[in-house]
Amino acid sequence: MTNDRDVLNAAQERIRDAFLPCQQFPNMNTEDIKVVRGAAWQRIQELGAPTDAPGDRLYILSFMGPVAYIKPGRTTNLLQRIHRHEKDALVHRAFLFDAWVSRPYPNARRWEEKTLISLRCLPGVVSVGEHFYDLDFETAVKIAQDERSVL
């Protein structure tokens, strides 16, 4: 007779085996990662200049890794917040791939809320909290910009 532990062990093994191909990090040139990450940070500096200006910022970050995702958000401390997201992404073996940031805005709370609602309504997009999967970066940026224009 098979006991519950044997059933559990077999189920865990099947799940582990199913995920093994996903655990293989692609063979990438580290110089390419540096170039792409550096370009994202340059874009942050250019779009957000000056990055220490007072006010809220809306941002859209794209992370590439075994599972790519888009992270929109709002902050009053732009550089610190993006560095925090980069650190969090390392847990998922992901890195900053692209970025868009707004100019300072007095209060971007409503703008962020409207952007998140619009992103969640897109067909085929999966969201977990404020992390969006199967979402194109440029689409996310366009939606954020469109939502700003109707405030």
pLDDT of residue 42: 92
Which residues are 71's β-sheet partners? 61
pLDDT of residue 114: 97
Query: pLDDT-derived band of residue 1, with 50, 70 and 90 as boundaries?
Result: very low
Strand 126-128 to 95-101 pairing: unpaired
pLDDT of residue 13: 82
Residue pointed to by tokens 């809320």: 113
Residue 66 tokens read as: 């075994």
- pLDDT, greater one: 75 or 1: 75
Residue 123 has pLDDT above 70, yes or no: yes
| Runs of H (alpha helix) within the chain | 4-23, 30-47, 78-90, 109-120, 137-149
Residue 134 tokens read as: 């199967």
Residue pointed to by tokens 């220490």: 52
pLDDT in tens, 6-39: 888 888 788 777 666 665 556 677 888 889 999 9
Distance CA 84, CA 105 (A): 21
Q: Domain ranges for the chain, please list them.
A: 27-149
pLDDT of residue 22: 60
pLDDT in tens, 67-97: 899 999 999 999 999 999 999 999 988 999 9
